[in-house]
Amino acid sequence: MEKLPLQVNQFSALNGTNEVFHLAGGYQNIDSKELRIVIPVTLGVICLVGFAGNSLVIAVLINNARKGRTSMINSLILNMSVADLLIMLFCVPFRVVAYSRPSWTLGWFICKTADWFLQSCLAAKSFTIAVLAKACFMYVTHPSKQVQIKHQRIAALIVSIWTLAFILPLPHWLFATTSYEADQVMCIFDTPKHASNFMAVFAKLYPALVYCLPMIFTFIYHWKAFRRCKRRGSKTQNLRNQIRGRRLTVMLFSVSLTFATMCVPEWVVWLWTRHVEKGEPSPPPSIVLLSQVLVFCISSAHPLIFVAMSEEFKEGFVGLWKRLISGTPRASPPDLQAAQPQQTSTDSVSANPVQSQEKSVQVPDKDPAQEKAESPSNKTANIVLSDMEQFWHDRQSAPASTEEDPIPWEHQSDLEASPCP
């Protein structure tokens, strides 16, 4: 949000207060026509990438859950991806409209809920990342055990995260409203005089609860997890689990570091606008626009981190991509080989039953031994020379005497068995 220019601060004189008003729902004072085109186009590309990436992450995690591979870590990653998807669907499109027009045209309800919903999603992501760091440390501490919790406890944890995330930014919803200035409608953050003390406390306490404390908690547990990963057990059977724990720690640490780093400009602008006094300089528009674009870039960066650093997500993405291209899941090679002969035989019979019947009538059944003998491999083995064939024919038709018998040992048993004269 950005402080309104001096001409917009005339609302304080009309209302009898000395409060400084801030824009809500996005920066609406872009004077450059180039920026009114570049910023919406940039946000449109971010929205498409973030929507596709988070949808694939959710699809992979749901597919793993159907296969029985559910865990607390996967459930928390799913919750974070859902928050990113909600930002891409219900926050970015309205910001694109706000940046592309000089006045507010989205109505009173969108003005009331725009900043509140965005801050709720960011708070839910911050709390989820903190719980993920604790779950990662639990997994690294016990590499031989999966960090699995009952579905009821996981659901209760996620509901608690979202309930707290929706409650904390309620002042963004209470004090946002639309106002007229120079025949233009503006969405502003108007704090009444009786709530000035509350907002002074809120401006200091809210960033600490939503950003500072969760990030401190997150990096403490990541540091503990890294120290635990350096220890090697005496047995080699847990080496694979240790490697998986190290990779998981690096991936979740990258996610946490990306979120913490890219949220810094947004929180600097947020604190600056709420602690600035009347007449003091407000944040430059370039910093305001950059901070808000970086916040939306986080939702597109997290799926890329998952793909780059997790083999499970790589395999899941490849499988989903193949299903989207082919339309049906591809069968394994043994299944294809087993199913192909049956399919071709049934198709040939069903396609031309008359021809198959003629073949069955005209072609007689052959003996298996005869087919084996007539096979091309056996034809060369059964070739008999003409001289040898004549020799065996004469021998079988006219048995020779004992003196002329070339192989008398074959008939020795017959001679011994015959009666003596």
Concatenate the DSSP letters of all residues of 180-191 into one string. EETTEEEEEE--
User: What local confidence, expressed as pLDDT, does residue 6 receive?
Assistant: 36
In 10 A of CB 374, how many CB atoms? 12
- Return the residue matching tokens 């396609």: 351
> How far, in Å, CA of 357 to CA of 33, rounded?
78
Residue ranges for the chain with pLDDT beneath 70: 1-21, 28-29, 143-149, 181-182, 231-238, 327-421
> How far, in Å, CA of 272 to CA of 281, rounded?
10
Contact 99, 40 (CB under 8 A): yes
**For residue 292, what is the DSSP state?**
H
> How far, in Å, CA of 20 to CA of 272, rounded?
12
> How far, in Å, CA of 100 to CA of 35, rounded?
8
DSSP 355-366: HHHHHHHHS---
Contact 54, 88 (CB under 8 A): yes
pLDDT in tens, 301-349: 999 999 899 888 888 878 777 777 776 544 444 443 444 444 444 444 4
> How far, in Å, CA of 80 to CA of 53, rounded?
12
User: What local confidence, expressed as pLDDT, does residue 324 receive?
Assistant: 73
DSSP 374-406: HSHHHHTTT---HHHHHHHHHHHHS---TTT-S
103 membership: H or E segment, kind and range? none
> How far, in Å, CA of 111 to CA of 172, rounded?
10
User: What local confidence, expressed as pLDDT, does residue 195 receive?
Assistant: 87
Q: Rounded to 5 degrees, what are φ and ψ at 188?
A: -125, 165
With H, G, I as helix, E, B as strand and everything else as coil, classify residue 224: helix
Phi and psi based region of residue 107 (left: phi greater than 0; alpha: psi -120 to 50; beta: remaining):
left
Residues 6+ apart with CB under 8 A from 410: none
The model scores a pTM over 0.85: no
Beta-carbon-side half-sphere exposure of residue 403 (alpha carbons within 13 Å): 0
Q: Rounded to 5 degrees, what are φ and ψ at 179?
A: -145, 160
Q: Which two tokens stand for residue 348?
A: 């040939």
Contact 305, 255 (CB under 8 A): yes
CATH class of the domain comprising 10-232+239-326? mainly alpha
With H, G, I as helix, E, B as strand and everything else as coil, classify residue 142: coil
DSSP 313-356: HHHHHHHHHHHHHHSSPPPPHHHHHHHHHHHHHHHHHHH-HHHH
User: What local confidence, expressed as pLDDT, does residue 148 receive?
Assistant: 55
